[in-house]
Amino acid sequence: MPITVAALRETAAGERRVAITPEMAKKMHARGWRVMLERDAGASAGFPDGVYADATFGSAAEVCAQADVLACVLPPQDAVFGQLRERATVVGQLRPYGADARLAAMAARGLSAFSLELLPRTTRAQAMDVLSSQAAVAGYRAMLIAAEAAPKFFPMLTTAAGTIRPSRVLVIGAGVAGLQAIATARRLGAQTEGYDVRPETREQVESLGAKFLQVGVSAAGTGGYARELSAEERAAQQQALAEHLKVFDVVVSTAAVPGRPAPKILTAAMVQGMKPGALIVDLAAESGGNCELTRPGERVEHGGVTIIGPLNLPAGAPLHASEMYARNVFNFLELLVKNDALAPDYDDELVAKSCLTRDGTAQFTG
């Protein structure tokens, strides 16, 4: 009997993505898997039920009762774990940090759970890397928000009324989100600079046509992330950045480490020193923000500077975000299914490091 891979309609506030798209449903069907979705699961992402030629539909309860694998974008409501059949598998961004009750509920039901945020940042894992695929969407949308909210044009314009100089934009953090933000600012015509404490990112920033801002602090780390700065390094970074910030019209900050509070890079005093009309878009708002003045989900005015803390930006471009996310999920599921049966190989680093629960016990200790 084929395994059933399923997805529910996402219930988190503002969430519009879906974990299985028509394209991936077709691929799953070609593998001999049965695909089942809750009615209207993909509607908010631009995929009405009628475009799923290779899936069946039912109520949430019917989906849970039949699912061997439940794919999700964000953790489902706790009640879902009790509705799933025992020994089912859950795959998605399960936000395991500080979620002991959720892990206990899944373990008590005997569920196997895999959190894709925990995948190691290796070449082999790139096809399953949901953090990178969704960060690309977030970086793009963050710069669009900045362009709309800024009181100035981004590009240089030559008009009958005179020449308009381009906006000066700084992107803090040159990970996937930061690089996409830089690329978007460049496409919009802004004079763009990028900053990161990891010196190896300079080449990537410059390859996009931006200037790399140097402040004399280097903190290369492991796993693609920067190491934590010492107090002395942080003070030096802030002092140098404070001087540079005075000339920028827009700052987009993207520095974040999964499972930890976002590093505080922009102090209130640094914001106070920025030019009137300047704008900060803090992409790290969900984990506390890179700016001391950021309020998640809000727009704050301080000394003539506007600070915006957007939340869940990928959900604002749900069609393409879902397409990328669903491909990540499908590629990961291929690790779990062998000969038409669920058979995770826990000797595989990608499987082992993303596992939250198995055989009735929690595996995650982060």
Q: Is 87 a catalytic site residue?
A: no
Predicted local distance difference test score (pLDDT) of residue 225: 59
What does the buried/exposed string (b/e) look like for 11-28 if buried means 16 or more CB atoms within 10 Å of the residue's CB? eeeebbbbbbbbbbbebb
Domains 4-118+317-358 and 136-315 share a fold: yes
Characterize the bridge pairing of strands 341-342 and 299-302.
unpaired
Q: Which of 132, 191, 238, 253 is catalytic?
A: 132
Segment 71-104, tens digit of pLDDT: 999 999 999 999 999 999 999 999 999 899 999 9
Q: How far is CA 73 from the centre of its chain?
A: 11
Beta strands in 268-354 (DSSP E): 279-282, 299-302, 305-308, 337-338, 341-342
Q: Which of 44, 83, 129, 180 is catalytic?
A: 129
Predicted local distance difference test score (pLDDT) of residue 110: 94
Q: Is 218 a catalytic site residue?
A: no
Q: Which of 59, 77, 126, 230 is catalytic?
A: 126
Closest to 309 (Cα-Cα) out of 279, 286, 278: 286
| 4-118+317-358: CATH, from 3.40.50.720, 3.20.20.60, 3.30.565.10, 3.30.56.10 | 3.40.50.720
Pair of tokens at residue 306: 């506007």
Amino acid at site 118: L
> Quick one: fold of 136-315?
Rossmann fold (3.40.50)
The domain limits of the chain are 4-118+317-358, 136-315
CA distance 270 to 246: 9
Predicted local distance difference test score (pLDDT) of residue 308: 98
Predicted local distance difference test score (pLDDT) of residue 270: 95
DSSP letter for 288, please.
Answer: T
Q: Which of 59, 77, 78, 121 is catalytic?
A: 121
Predicted local distance difference test score (pLDDT) of residue 197: 85
CA distance 302 to 269: 10
Q: Is 132 a catalytic site residue?
A: yes
Q: Which of 97, 202, 225, 227 is catalytic?
A: 225
Q: Is 129 a catalytic site residue?
A: yes
Compute the C-alpha angle 71/116/346, nearest 5°. Answer: 95
Predicted local distance difference test score (pLDDT) of residue 1: 78
Burial of residue 341 (number of CB atoms within 10 Å: 0-12, 13-18, 19+)? exposed
Q: How far is CA 341 from the centre of its chain?
A: 30
Cα-only R_g, the chain: 22
The pLDDT profile of the chain, 366 residues, written as one tens digit per residue, is: 799 999 999 999 999 999 999 999 999 999 999 999 999 999 999 999 999 999 999 999 999 999 999 999 999 999 999 999 999 999 999 999 989 999 999 999 999 999 999 999 899 999 999 999 999 999 999 999 999 999 999 999 998 999 999 999 999 999 999 999 999 999 999 999 999 988 889 999 999 999 999 876 666 555 555 666 677 777 777 788 888 999 999 999 999 888 889 999 999 999 999 999 999 999 999 999 999 999 999 999 999 999 999 999 999 999 999 999 999 999 999 999 998 899 999 999 999 999 999 999 988 877
Length reported for the chain: 366
Q: Is 115 a catalytic site residue?
A: no
